């Protein structure tokens, strides 16, 4: 060969959009493509970006293979760079074209480091290092560096995972996936958005349940809309006073995924006090009899996709109708920092339905949710108020049940709001929203 390396610039067209957005498939394909060509793989680093797109590189002893994808165009740009004569990059090209289900590809080969233009200098390699490096063969494995990224316009959360996707299915409503992350254990995502992880799910589920249960001690019947991961009903069923807990989840794949890969969260699905219904929560509420439930928890995803209808005034009015005279509605109410416009709008809606003095906001720290600060709403149809609760009973319960986040002090402290949150709730307005939101407003 009359050059040090061969560099093929590749464009794959009409690829499978799903495969172009699948970081696990792409990482595996790139590694195998390198190995098939006879390369020695050192490590791989890949990132998936939300809502779509994958970037990554496989470092080989003979140089590298790199990629970036545009799933919305079914397109991938790939670099295949190999040094020496032992590796044929065209073998990798052929393998990837098939792996990505590309309709066609184009390529251009460059010879890198033309020997006729170079002058070789001999030097003593041993003098440049104190210890010889360990070889890949001695280690017996490559280093894999595969990342999931939930990215919005101005912020992103990246979590490293094992590279082996535990669950991936498409329902009529959304894509349900489970990744094995290194920092937070198994993680459930819906349409590329983080829903819960093994190591921090308890924050969300303890705060959405125990705050109302210790503030509304007469509650006997509870309804959960959404919450197919099972964490909310798991916490509710710790309370013996509840005679009936009904969970209405629209997507049975969420339940399936969590039973398989987040069993600690989904542990209560076999409880005899649980009435599990796979159906549309909006339709269920519309058909529900007046005054049936003492407590209704809206455990919804973000206001997109199947969760969008759970963020409307019409829906909350129906929830109000289904509550007993002293009933309470609890919702996850987004992050005051992440999308301040939605935060302000939904609290204005709650107050119009339940009354200005009957709606309370409280906060919790959830590190895998956008900005790390998440809010919940407490809306009372009657005289129940979240700051009037039995501290001793809450303390005893927290200790006996081995809770990881909720206790009597957290219960009260969660309602101590930062000034910027108070300002958003009291004033609202476009200038206030723009001052605090990390996301651009559409208004």
441 assigned to active site: no
- So where are the chain's domains? 3-113, 143-197, 201-428
Q: Is 174 annotated as a binding residue?
A: yes
Strand-pairing partners, residue 63, are 60, 82
Q: Which of 299, 335, 384, 411 is catalytic?
A: 299
63 assigned to active site: yes
Q: Is 56 annotated as a binding residue?
A: no
pLDDT at position 139 over 60: no
Q: What is the mean pLDDT of residues 374-388?
A: 96
Confidence of residue 244 (pLDDT cuts 50, 70, 90): very high
Q: Which of 16, 18, 68, 320 is catalytic?
A: 68
User: What pLDDT sits at residue 285?
Assistant: 96
Count how many residues are written for the chain: 443
User: What pLDDT sits at residue 132?
Assistant: 52
User: What pLDDT sits at residue 140?
Assistant: 54
Q: What is the mean pLDDT of residues 416-422?
A: 97
List CB contacts of 295: < 8 A, sequence separation 6 or more: 212, 213, 216, 219, 221, 222, 223, 327, 328, 329, 330
Which CATH architecture does the domain made up of 143-197 adopt?
Answer: Roll (2.30)
pLDDT at position 6 over 90: yes
Q: Return the minimum-mean-pLDDT range out of 49-53, 195-199, 217-221, 352-356.
A: 49-53
Q: What is the mean pLDDT of residues 247-267?
A: 98
Q: Is 16 annotated as a binding residue?
A: no
Q: Is 249 annotated as a binding residue?
A: yes
User: What pLDDT sits at residue 329?
Assistant: 98
| Domain 3-113 is found in CATH 3.60.90.10 | yes
User: What pLDDT sits at residue 133?
Assistant: 52
Greatest distance between any 2 Cα atoms in the chain: 89
Task: Tell me 126's DSSP state.
Answer: G
User: What pLDDT sits at residue 50?
Assistant: 75
Q: Which tops the pLDDT comparison, 102 or 339? A: 102
Please say whether the beta carbons of 332 and 298 come within 8 A.
Answer: yes
Task: Tell me 267's DSSP state.
Answer: G
68 assigned to active site: yes
Please say whether the beta carbons of 396 and 221 come within 8 A.
Answer: no
Q: Is 205 annotated as a binding residue?
A: yes
Q: What is the mean pLDDT of residues 314-342?
A: 95
Distance from C-alpha of 14 to C-alpha of 101, rounded to nearest angstrom: 8
Q: Return the minimum-mean-pLDDT range out of 42-51, 119-128, 377-386.
A: 119-128
Q: Which of 22, 29, 55, 83 is catalytic?
A: 83
This prediction's pTM: 0.81
User: What pLDDT sits at residue 137?
Assistant: 44
pLDDT digits (tens, 9 = 90+) for 223-234: 999 999 999 999
pLDDT at position 184 over 80: yes
Q: Which of 63, 92, 333, 375 is catalytic?
A: 63
| CATH code matching the domain that covers 201-428, chosen among 3.40.50.150, 3.40.50.300, 3.40.390.10, 3.30.450.90 | 3.40.50.150
List CB contacts of 245: < 8 A, sequence separation 6 or more: 222, 223, 224, 233, 236, 237, 271, 273, 274, 275
What token pair was written down for 356? 């200005």
User: What pLDDT sits at residue 358?
Assistant: 97
User: What pLDDT sits at residue 438?
Assistant: 85
């Amino acid at each position: 060969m009359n050059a040090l390396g061969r560099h093929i610039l590749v464009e794959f067209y009409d690829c499978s959009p799903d495969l172009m957005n699948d970081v696990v498939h792409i990482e595996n394909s790139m590694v195998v493509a390198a190995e098939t060509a006879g390369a020695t793989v050192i490590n791989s680093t890949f990132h998936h970006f939300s809502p779509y797109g994958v970037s990554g590189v496989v470092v080989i002893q003979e140089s590298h293979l790199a990629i970036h994808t545009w799933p919305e165009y079914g397109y991938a740009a790939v670099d295949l760079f190999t040094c020496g004569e032992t590796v044929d990059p065209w073998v990798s090209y052929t393998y990837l074209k098939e792996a990505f289900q590309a309709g066609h590809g184009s390529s251009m080969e460059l010879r890198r480091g033309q020997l006729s233009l170079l002058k070789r200098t001999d030097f003593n390699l041993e003098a440049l290092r104190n210890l010889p490096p360990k070889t890949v063969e001695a280690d017996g494995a490559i280093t894999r560096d595969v990342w999931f990224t939930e990215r919005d316009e101005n912020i992103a959360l990246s979590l490293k995972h094992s590279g082996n996707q535990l669950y991936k299915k498409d329902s009529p409503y959304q894509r349900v996936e489970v990744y094995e992350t290194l920092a937070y254990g198994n993680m459930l995502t819906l349409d590329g958005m983080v829903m819960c992880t093994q190591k921090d799910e308890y924050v969300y589920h303890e705060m959405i349940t125990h705050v109302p249960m210790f503030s509304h001690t007469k509650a006997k019947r509870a309804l959960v809309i959404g919450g197919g991961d099972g964490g909310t009903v798991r916490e509710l069923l710790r309370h013996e006073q509840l005679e009936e807990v009904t969970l209405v989840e629209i997507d049975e794949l969420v339940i399936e995924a969590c039973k398989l890969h987040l069993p600690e969260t989904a542990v209560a699905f076999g409880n005899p006090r649980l009435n599990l219904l796979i159906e549309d929560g909006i339709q269920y509420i519309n058909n529900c009899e007046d005054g049936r439930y003492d407590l209704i928890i809206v455990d919804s995803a973000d206001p997109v996709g199947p969760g969008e209808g759970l963020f409307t005034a019409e829906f909350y009015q129906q929830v109000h109708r289904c509550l007993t005279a002293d009933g309470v509605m609890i919702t996850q109410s987004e992050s005051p920092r992440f999308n301040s416009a939605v935060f302000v709008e939904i609290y204005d809606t709650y107050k119009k339905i339940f009354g200005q003095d009957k709606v309370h906001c409280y906060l919790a720290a959830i590190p895998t949710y956008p900005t790390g600060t998440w809010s919940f709403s407490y809306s009372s149809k009657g005289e129940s108020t979240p700051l009037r609760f039995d501290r001793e009973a809450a303390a005893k319960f927290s200790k006996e049940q081995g809770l990881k986040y909720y206790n009597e002090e957290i219960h009260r402290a969660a309602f101590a709001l930062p000034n910027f949150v108070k300002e958003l709730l009291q004033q609202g307005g476009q200038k206030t929203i723009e001052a605090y939101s990390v996301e651009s407003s559409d208004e």
